[in-house]
Amino acid sequence: MQLYNNLSAKERAELIAQAGKDRLTISFYAYAKIGNPETLRNQLFLAWNNLDVLGRIYVANEGINAQLSIPADHFGPFKSHLDSIPFLENVRLNIAIEHDNFAFLKLKVKVRDKIVADGLNDATFDVTNIGVHVNAERFNELIEDENTVLVDMRNHYESEIGHFKNAVTPDVDTFRESLDIIEEDLKDHKEDKNLVMYCTGGIRCEKASAYYKHKGFKNVFQLEGGIIHYVRQINEKGLENKFIGKNFVFDQRRSERISDDVIAHCHQCGNPADLHTNCANDACHLLFIQCEACKEKMDNCCSSTCMEVHHLPYDEQKELRKGQGNSNDIFKKGRADHLPYKQDLRNIFEILNK
């Protein structure tokens, strides 16, 4: 009985190309009490592996968080399987705006302590007492209200390439960092302002809205289905789009373009750019924004040092990495002192926040 992926990303990519089938990119989540996450994890892997599902799925005692792709002609059986699981019956599926057959190249179903790393002690507050879910139309109305504070619950590298107009975009690396920062910044407006939140697909706002209500915020709202569902609604209903730029996504696509605006800049030269890439030096792998000119000049590397390593024969690169572990940059997202434009921006933020 196969319970784990046994193909490399390269082998899977070749199979996808040979199959010639269009694939759908889908995400969903559900909070529910799961007694034995390992058992559910194994059941999901067996069922979904047979349907050629690929993606990243986290299962925990508190629920499930899934980002995946599936052949379009397997969607029916996949949906039927979801509906056969009581807490996933009729779960909202966020179907991507832009699809890429190679968005995911492995099926990874993992058991985690939590489906989102929020750093919260759930026993200290009522996690079911969440904010009011609003659709795209109501969301557009709320964010035009002068009594509304609109907060982006994503990380800095996500909001850097796209966000809603007039949103507060915390300069944080992780979701857990943003929770206390936002509370502190808005502590004088817990009763007189509407706290309206959004994220990619809605999952981060579920826990955050309950946390802020516990902290005394009276008027808490969250965008139903996040940015992904918002875009689908405005397109279907002909509503005004208030999102500018691109929506960052956690798969090989990196992002979905929502508007034609390019609001970010190349981290190396400062020219307008909004394409994330990973440094080609495998020992670095830093995620950063790079324009086409710098990509050609730097051979997809973040620094001249990385470029020198990248140009070495592969065996020499492996030898250099022996015993060194990964560079700390592999854990960073556009945070490195050798990225001149990003460093300048950080200095500006530090001055403004003093």
Note the pLDDT tens digit of each residue in 47-93: 999 999 999 999 999 999 999 999 999 999 999 999 999 999 999 99
From 5-14, 120-129, 341-350, the region with the lowest mean pLDDT: 341-350
Does the pLDDT value for residue 291 go beyond 80? yes
User: Can you give the pLDDT at residue 352?
Assistant: 40
pLDDT tier at 323 (50, 70, 90 boundaries)?
low
Catalytic residue among 199, 205, 294, 301: 199
Structural domains of the chain ordered from first start: 9-111 (3.30.70.100), 132-239 (3.40.250.10), 264-344 (no CATH)
Question: What would the mean pLDDT of 258-285 be, rounded to a whole number?
Answer: 94
Does the pLDDT value for residue 336 go beyond 80? no
Q: Which of 33, 30, 87 lies closest to 225, judged by CA? A: 30
Residue 199 falls in the annotated catalytic set: yes
Question: What would the mean pLDDT of 87-114 be, rounded to a whole number?
Answer: 94
The Cα–Cα gap between 107 and 100 comes to: 16
How deeply is 230 buried, as exposed, middle or buried, from its count of CB atoms within 10 A (0-12, 13-18, 19+)? buried
DSSP H or E segment with residue 245: strand 243-248
Note the pLDDT tens digit of each residue in 119-133: 888 888 888 899 999
Global pTM value? 0.86
Q: Which of 244, 81, 237, 226 lies closest to 139, judged by CA? A: 226
